[in-house]
């Protein structure tokens, strides 16, 4: 018995190595994708405050582009103002306020950490549970879709970026055809380009068509831009197009984002849950 | 003893700050950004004193990697790679000897008798292993030839040059 202990003691470093390696591998497997991010929330405070200092410095370098984006968005909104329009019809009509009910609310937030050079990129945002943020909410910036929230702590949240080979999903619509089709993917290479897949090659698509979010997407309002079709290839052996989409967002320069809060989400989920109870899967 | 521990703490935070404020902000959003992923933490593990006991070396490397993971939200990747480097580098540095005239508190790797060429191979080999592991785990092995390999070669070389530069800035070989 004694000799066993002696032997084990002489091999202590190997045991320690194996133990620590197994620990880290478990943490890779369990946590690495994204449920993870706030597991060690206390140890994160220091790191997040450093990241915040970092983003506050680099924010200044992007002020010009940020201004430009806000300016464009402002003009877009101004075009939609009711005061731009004159009533031409002489008929009397009534406006019933209750026709419209608010569905989406938006929260502004700052991006603290951001990366584009990995194959699974995430974004940390300085809003959390205390602002009413929940998992699954959409994140977009003035230029277009950025990602969806996957993890929330009290004051911060993590979003999976569109630049993610695994986690991000959005339902795309082709604006010119007004048709919901295909899936948007990122192949893990160029952060400026996305792929649009599963679109039949007999669809009348053209270069320059806009890809936006569809009304069927659960976490985004309709018509948030995703990108513009840059090239179309159809091969004789395949039934689907090879479509390259130029992303409308410059992911290296995201600083201010909006988080979408869908006020009808609970109601929709409740309905779907009832159907799922009857084994009718709604997706 | 305490002074050298403090020195290593300072080194660790210097590495975190360089990684966070400089390396992670260059080429962000760029097409070739994926080529530029040097992970400086490997430098910390490689510069730990060679007189350390093997078990302590492994433990300290693991902790350094773990802290790096906490800072950069890469759960366990740095910890796994650092532990492996900590375990294997002992065999490369255990028979190291200081040059005559070097003080005890000098970094033994810096003042080793084996000379420049040994030091460069030591850094390059372990940096390469580290980056290969890191990139492989991080990307789950997807896009091996188109993305992982070029990224591995570039990041290793960049990290190697950075380590040599930083080392020259930090460690002045003090001799009697």
Concatenating the DSSP letter of every residue in B82-137 gives: HHHHHHHHHHHHTT--BPTTB-TTS-TTTTBTTHHHHHHHHHHHHHHHHHHHHHHH
- Residue A110 and residue A60 share a domain: yes
Whether A271 is in a domain gets the answer no
ipTM of the complex: 0.78
- Residue A242 and residue A200 share a domain: yes
Q: Are strands A256-262 and A104-114 parallel, antiparallel or unpaired?
A: antiparallel
- Residue A161 and residue A112 share a domain: yes
Q: How confident is the model at residue A35 (pLDDT cuts 50, 70, 90)?
A: very low
Domain span holding position A108: 41-78+100-166+256-263
Mean pLDDT of A106-125: 83
- Residue A48 and residue A26 share a domain: no
Minimum distance, in Å, between the CA of residue B55 and any CA atom of chain A: 5
Please state the φ and ψ torsions of residue A62, each to the nearest 5 degrees.
-100, 10
CB within 8 Å of chain B, chain A residues 239-258 = 250-253
Minimum distance, in Å, between the CA of residue B92 and any CA atom of chain A: 15
Count of positions (residues) in chain A:
283
* Measured distance CA(A87)–CA(B69) in Å, rounded: 61
- Residue A209 and residue A109 share a domain: no
Whether A275 is in a domain gets the answer no
Q: Is pLDDT of B128 > 90? A: yes
- Residue A124 and residue A223 share a domain: no
Minimum distance, in Å, between the CA of residue B29 and any CA atom of chain A: 4
Domain count, chain A: 3
Kindly state the tokens that stand for A106. Answer: 């938006």
**Domain ranges within chain B, ordered by starting residue:** 38-170
Nearest CA in chain A to B143: A188
Number of residue pairs across A and B with CB atoms under 8 Å?
Answer: 129
Q: Do B105 and B51 meet the contact criterion of CB atoms below 8 Å apart?
A: no
- Residue A116 and residue A227 share a domain: no
Mean pLDDT of B39-53: 84
Q: DSSP character for B148?
A: I
Question: Among B8-12, B156-160, B165-169, which is the least confidently predicted range?
Answer: B165-169
B110: Cβ contacts below 8 Å, ≥ 6 apart? B47, B119, B167, B171, B173
- Residue A150 and residue A49 share a domain: yes
- Residue A246 and residue A152 share a domain: no
The answer to whether the Cβ–Cβ distance between A25 and B33 falls below 8 Å is no
In 3D, which of A179, A181, A211 has the Cα closest to residue A193? A211
- Residue A189 and residue A137 share a domain: no
- Residue A161 and residue A182 share a domain: no
Tokens 């060690």 found at: A40
Question: A42-81: per-residue pLDDT in tens?
Answer: 556 666 777 777 777 777 777 877 787 787 788 778 777 7
- Residue A67 and residue A158 share a domain: yes
């Amino acid at each position: 018995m004694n000799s066993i202990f002696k032997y084990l003691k002489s091999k202590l470093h190997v045991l320690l190595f194996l133990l620590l390696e197994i620990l880290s591998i478990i943490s890779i497997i369990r946590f690495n994708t994204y449920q993870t991010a706030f597991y060690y929330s206390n140890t994160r405070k220091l790191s997040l405050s450093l990241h915040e200092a970092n983003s506050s410095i680099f924010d200044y370098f992007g002020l010009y582009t940020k201004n430009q984006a806000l300016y464009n968005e402002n003009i877009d909104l101004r075009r939609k103002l009711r005061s731009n329009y004159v009533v031409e019809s002489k008929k009397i009509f009534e406006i019933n306020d209750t026709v419209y009910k608010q569905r989406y609310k938006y929260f502004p937030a700052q991006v603290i950490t951001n990366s584009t050079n990995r194959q699974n990129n995430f974004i940390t945002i300085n809003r959390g549970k205390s602002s009413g943020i929940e998992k699954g909410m959409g994140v977009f910036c003035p230029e277009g879709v950025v990602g969806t929230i996957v993890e929330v702590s009290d004051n911060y949240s993590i979003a999976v970026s569109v630049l993610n080979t695994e986690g991000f999903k959005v339902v795309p619509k082709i604006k010119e055809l007004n048709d919901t089709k295909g899936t948007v993917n990122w192949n893990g290479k160029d952060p400026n380009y996305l792929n649009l897949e599963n679109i039949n090659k007999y669809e009348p698509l053209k270069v320059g068509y806009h890809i936006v979010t569809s009304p069927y997407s659960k976490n985004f309002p309709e018509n948030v831009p995703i990108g513009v079709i840059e090239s179309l290839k159809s091969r004789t052996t395949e039934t689907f197009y090879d479509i390259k989409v130029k992303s409308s967002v410059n992911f290296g320069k995201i600083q201010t984002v909006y988080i979408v809060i869908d006020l009808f989400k609970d109601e929709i989920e409740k309905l779907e849950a009832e159907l799922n109870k009857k084994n009718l899967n709604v997706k | 003893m305490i002074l050298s521990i403090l020195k290593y703490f300072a080194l660790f935070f210097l590495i975190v700050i360089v990684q966070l404020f400089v390396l992670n902000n260059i080429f962000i959003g760029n097409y070739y950004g994926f080529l530029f992923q040097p992970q400086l933490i490997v430098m910390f593990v490689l510069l730990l004193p060679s007189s350390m006991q093997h078990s302590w070396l492994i433990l300290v490397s693991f902790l350094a990697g773990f802290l790096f993971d906490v800072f950069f939200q890469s759960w366990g990747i740095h910890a796994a790679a650092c532990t492996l480097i900590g375990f294997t580098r002992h065999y490369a540095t255990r028979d190291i000897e200081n040059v005559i005239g070097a003080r005890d508190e000098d970094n033994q790797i810096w003042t080793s008798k084996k000379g420049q060429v040994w030091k460069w191979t030591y850094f390059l080999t372990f940096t390469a292993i580290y980056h290969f592991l890191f990139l492989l785990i991080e990307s789950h092995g997807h896009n091996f030839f188109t993305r992982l390999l070029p990224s591995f070669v570039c990041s290793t070389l960049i990290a190697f040059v950075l380590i040599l530069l930083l080392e020259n800035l930090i460690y002045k070989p003090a001799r009697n």
